[in-house]
């Protein structure tokens, strides 16, 4: 059975299981990339090496081109979404089609730690100047300080 046909069965099964439309869309997006990358290879012929090459492609070579963005690499979050979709598909394929679990040794892509730039002392003073203009100044200042501390 071709990978695209197996994925169709997987999506139908997950739809019947009640997964959200957003989750199904993410699964479709990621698995469509896998089908294109592997030229719709028969599902039972896919190897761990095929999946490793796919995830390396998503990390290093795939470019996300859209109307609103220039050609960009996939974010770590998108690569993690693809990993979850592939993992879920192979779990289903193992149970439903008797496929070998070729995904078990592939690690989840690591996320990127965002760089958080703290507010300067001048920024905090400017925020507090704004909140004291209102009748609820003490409460507003307390909320701003609480949010800044957390």
pLDDT per position as a tens digit, 29-42: 999 999 999 999 99
pLDDT of residue 9: 95
| CA separation for the pair 47, 111 (Å, rounded) | 25
What CA–CA distances, in Å, run from 110 to 28, 53, 81, 114? 22, 17, 11, 12
Q: Considering only residues 84 and 113, tell me which one the structure prediction assigns the higher pLDDT.
A: 84
By the 10 Å C-beta count (0-12 exposed, 13-18 middle, 19+ buried), 105 is classed as: exposed
pLDDT at 68 over 70: no
Q: How far apart are CA 104 and CA 68, in angstroms?
A: 36
pLDDT digits (tens, 9 = 90+) for 116-150: 888 888 998 898 888 888 888 899 889 988 998 88
Identify the pLDDT of residue 71: 63
């Amino acid at each position: 059975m071709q990978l695209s046909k197996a994925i169709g069965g997987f999506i139908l099964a997950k739809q019947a299981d009640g997964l959200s439309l957003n989750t199904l869309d993410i699964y479709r997006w990621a698995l469509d990339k896998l089908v294109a990358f592997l030229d719709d290879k028969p599902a039972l012929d896919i190897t761990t090496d095929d999946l490793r090459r796919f995830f390396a492609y998503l990390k290093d070579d795939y470019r996300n081109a859209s109307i609103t963005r220039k050609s960009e690499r996939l974010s770590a979050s998108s690569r993690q979404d693809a990993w979850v979709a592939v993992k879920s598909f192979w779990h289903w394929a193992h149970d439903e089609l008797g496929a070998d679990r070729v995904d078990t040794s592939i690690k989840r892509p690591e996320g990127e730690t965002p760089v958080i730039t703290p507010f300067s002392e001048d920024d905090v003073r400017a925020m507090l100047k704004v909140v004291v203009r209102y009748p609820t100044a003490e409460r507003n200042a307390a909320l701003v300080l609480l949010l800044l501390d957390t």
